[in-house]
Amino acid sequence: MQGTMLSNEQMLFLQQEKQQLNITKRVLSNFNLPEEALNALGEAILQLDELFLIVVVGEYNSGKSALINALLGDHVLEEGVTPTTARVTLVRWGEALSEQIVNEDFAIVTYPLELLKELNLIDSPGTNAIIRRHELLTTEYVPRSDLVLFTTSADRPLTESERQFLEKILAWGKKIVLVINKVDILEGRAAVDEVRAFVAQHTAGILGYTPELFVLSAKLAEKANQTSDPEEKEQLRKASGITDLERYITETLDDRVRLELKLSNPLGVAANLLQQAEGLNQAQTEELQADLKLVSELEEMLSAYRKELTAEIKPRLAEVDNVLQKFEQRGEEFFNTNLRITNIGNLAKSDKIKAKFEEEVLAGLSQEIDAKVHAMIDWMVDKDLQIWYQVMGALERRQFVARKQTEAGPMSPQAARRTDLMASVGETIKTIVNSYNHKKEAEELSVLVEGAVAQTALFEVGAVGLGALVASTLFSAAMDVTGIVAASALAILGFFVIPYKRRQAIERFKEKMKDLRSNLMHTLELTFGREADLALNRLEAKIAPYTQGVRADQEKIARDAQALVELKQTLEELQDQMRTVL
């Protein structure tokens, strides 16, 4: 910091503060803050190495240039210029009076005043300037200041635009000193006191504290500078009130106070940006809630769908198993009835036995199995279409609300991106639902189930349709285990053979049926379970761009919030440390 001798401890703190503030700037650059705000922090960091900076602000024609001339004790700046020619002017020390026009927005004036070796002054365009660019220049330079000299005119004290500008300055955490200029136009002390009280009361209401307030007439101070009579000059300066402000700047703002303000300035700018970032983070959190609610709703839908499928697959498969159990019971009854010595003539006629088995035991089995399995397939296809409809409906409801919000006002870039993702996913889901072919889906699932069963070791290949495939396999198994023998062998063995063969056939039949039923149920359960998983995965994949985008935003917002908490703590620690080195 120029113009002030720093102790080793203060110099070390200054370096630490600059380092941490640059880190702060990098962290805050990840937020959607205005570029000029981040630039203001960068400028405030650079100002740590410059002279103490006082920025004079106020409405156009409030007498800012005249006030600076009064402080300089000479007519250095032009007064009464129109807003169309106004620019930011930096007043600094120089061996002679000079002016350098840097560009249309900025000029540098030098003047050989000892005070300017310790501080710089900035004359700014009016906060209510006709050209908007001039007001922007004012707001750009205020964040760089170490002290704001806020000037209001006695004939229009604290206008609405000045109130609004004071609130902006307050957000930057600046040291503010109030100047009521042009008191020479007021009649009597009572009028001056009334204006002073008015300004003090209302600024305290805005700032939350009563700032230093000076009442003066820059016009009388300039008149004092123009007279050569020492006595008249002293009287005019005293009457103008400029001496009180000069004393405050030269004596009250000693090296320690200036250093404190200088070190506090960028911390205040950083704190303001931090507050803006916190506001953005909070706004993003609030914006995200509707999307999080929809994602949770979609996830709950899919979870409920998964649970419902899991819960219903086994009971529906049990209906198929009941058909097989009844077949087994009929087969056992068939063997008990037909594998007898009294039926020895028919036992030798295997074709006749097979035909009778088909008629009494196998009849209708194929159709029953097909009916149960197809009913289950239709159920699964219906459930699949139903969940797609539910997801589409949830997305459409959210899109309707999003459109209303868009009409009400602009969204953040993150919210707009999520809305676009939601619209894209919604359109995809809608296309799938509108083109959904129930018959085709059922046929494809039926082929899948039949193929899975046919590929198992216990079932035969060749029959057309799942029911026919199962019935054919069951019939072959039943015939294989009966142990039917030729009539001549039965005649020789006689009475003792038939009961044994019957018991053997029934036992082997039951074992075979147990294996077949277990194998079939296991295969069907795996197939339908796998298809349920595929259906869910297919739907999850379609909505994933949106749901993953929302979750990613949620994680980023949470990380940002934590980063801001840590940043706030660091800035507070810097503030505490600063007090120890002053």
3-state secondary structure string, 397-415?
A: HHHHHHHHHHHHCCCCHHH
Alpha helices of 79-210 — where are they, by DSSP H? 132-141, 160-171, 189-207
What does DSSP assign to residue 10?
A: H
Examine the pLDDT at 7 and tell me if it is beyond 90. Answer: no
Report which residue type is found at 531.
E
Calculate ∠ Cα 255-258-262, nearest 5°: 135
Task: Judge whether residue 452 has pLDDT over 60.
Answer: yes
Average pLDDT taken over every residue of the chain: 84
Contact 274, 568 (CB under 8 A): yes
Task: Tell me yes or no: is domain 51-269 CATH 3.40.50.720.
Answer: no
Strands 106-111 and 52-58: unpaired
Contact 79, 66 (CB under 8 A): yes
Most confidently predicted of 80-94, 140-154, 442-456: 140-154
Mean pLDDT for the stretch of residues 554-576: 94
pLDDT at 555: 95
Q: At what angle do helices 35-47 and 132-141 cross, to 10 degrees?
A: 40
Q: Which of 66-80, 98-112, 295-309 has the highest mean pLDDT?
A: 295-309
Instruction: Provide CB contacts within 8 A for 353, sequence distance 6+.
Output: 338, 346, 347, 482, 484
Percentage with pLDDT > 90 across the chain? 33
Per DSSP, 108 falls in state E
The per-residue pLDDT for range 233-272, each reduced to its tens digit, is 888 888 899 999 988 988 888 888 888 888 888 998 899 8
H-helix or E-strand spanning residue 350: helix 350-357
pLDDT score of 460: 57
Note the pLDDT of residue 274.
93
The domain ranges of the chain are: 51-269, 286-574
pLDDT at 556: 94
Closest CA to 257 of 175, 160, 200: 175
Cα–Cα dist 417/427, whole Å: 15
Count of residues for the chain? 582
pLDDT at 490 over 50: no
Q: What are φ and ψ of residue 173, in 5° steps?
A: 70, 35
Q: Say how many C-beta atoms besides its own lie within 10 A of residue 135's C-beta.
A: 20
What local confidence, expressed as pLDDT, does residue 485 receive? Answer: 41
Residue 494, pLDDT > 50, answer no
Which of 146, 88, 151 lies closest to 119, judged by CA? Answer: 146
Q: Which of 32, 19, 21, 115 is nearest to 73 (CA)?
A: 115
| pLDDT exceeds cutoff 60 at 463 | no
List pLDDT tens digits, range 429-447.
999 999 988 888 888 888 8
Q: Residues 259, 10: contact at Cβ < 8 Å?
A: yes
pLDDT at position 401 over 90: no
What is the average pLDDT across 120-139? Answer: 72
Phi and psi dihedrals of 437, rounded to 5? -110, 100
User: Which residues does residue 467 pair with via DSSP β-bridges, in sequence order?
Assistant: none
CA nearest to 395, candidates 434, 431, 422: 422
* Of 450 and 389, the one with more pLDDT: 389
Q: Which residue has the tokens 């900025």?
A: 106
- Encoding tokens for residue 415? 């919210």
- Cα separations (Å) of 374 from 352, 382, 474? 33, 12, 19
CB atoms within 10 A of CB 484: 18
Determine the pLDDT at residue 469.
79
How far is CA 558 from its chain centroid? 8
pTM over 0.95: no
Q: Considering Cα of 226, then 232, then 236, then 238, what sign does the dihedral take?
A: positive
**Beta bridge mates, 108:** 90, 100
Q: What is the pLDDT of residue 567?
A: 94
Q: What is the chain's alpha carbon radius of gyration, rounded to the nearest angstrom?
A: 46
